[in-house]
Amino acid sequence: MTTRCITKLNQAGVKFKLGLSRNLFDIRFNNGILEIPKLKVHDYTELTLRNLLAFEQCNCHNNYISDYVSLTDDFVNSEKDVEFLLKDGIVKNMLGDYNGVCTLITSEEELLWIAKASTLLLFLSSSIATAESL
């Protein structure tokens, strides 16, 4: 299943609303309104996401961060998508320009694949080390 970008959702009649929850995962769709909690994008957002993804891939059974990253990547394909999110107060841009936010969000899927590949390499290296010790 593919999630449409914000612009396409808007063209289909979906309205966007800033969610009141502080939980980023508390995304709701009800009566044609997509309610999304605020995401503050600043200089350390990418680093924080990388670390959270790596931690989740190595230590967690649930993929909440990965799912969130994948969803936000689907939502944003262009600066126009970012403009909708900024206008509705869903994204707070602390980077300065739309392009920086767009680049960060669209590169999140790449972060997800890097985290998964890193986890696989970690697993393989520990398996090899275990096999060598036998």
Banded pLDDT at 19 (limits 50, 70, 90): very high
Question: Do residues 36 and 74 make contact, with C-beta atoms less than 8 angstroms apart?
Answer: no
Q: Which two tokens stand for residue 32?
A: 């044609």
Predicted confidence (pLDDT) per residue in 45-87, tens digit: 878 888 888 888 778 788 888 888 888 888 888 888 888 888 9
pLDDT of residue 62: 84
Distances (CA, A) of 2 to 11, 77, 125: 16, 13, 34
Banded pLDDT at 1 (limits 50, 70, 90): low
Q: How far apart are CA 11 and CA 15, in angstroms?
A: 9
The pLDDT mean for the chain works out to 79
Banded pLDDT at 14 (limits 50, 70, 90): very high
Q: Which two tokens stand for residue 41?
A: 């994008």
pLDDT of residue 94: 83
Task: Outline where 1-134 has alpha helix (H).
Answer: 6-11, 45-59, 64-75, 79-87, 98-106, 108-133
The answer to whether residue 130 scores a pLDDT higher than 80 is no
pLDDT of residue 86: 87
Question: Do residues 66 and 50 make contact, with C-beta atoms less than 8 angstroms apart?
Answer: no
pLDDT of residue 7: 93
pLDDT of residue 8: 94
Q: How far apart are CA 4 and CA 75, in angstroms?
A: 6
Predicted confidence (pLDDT) per residue in 80-127, tens digit: 888 888 899 998 888 777 677 777 766 655 655 555 555 454 555 555
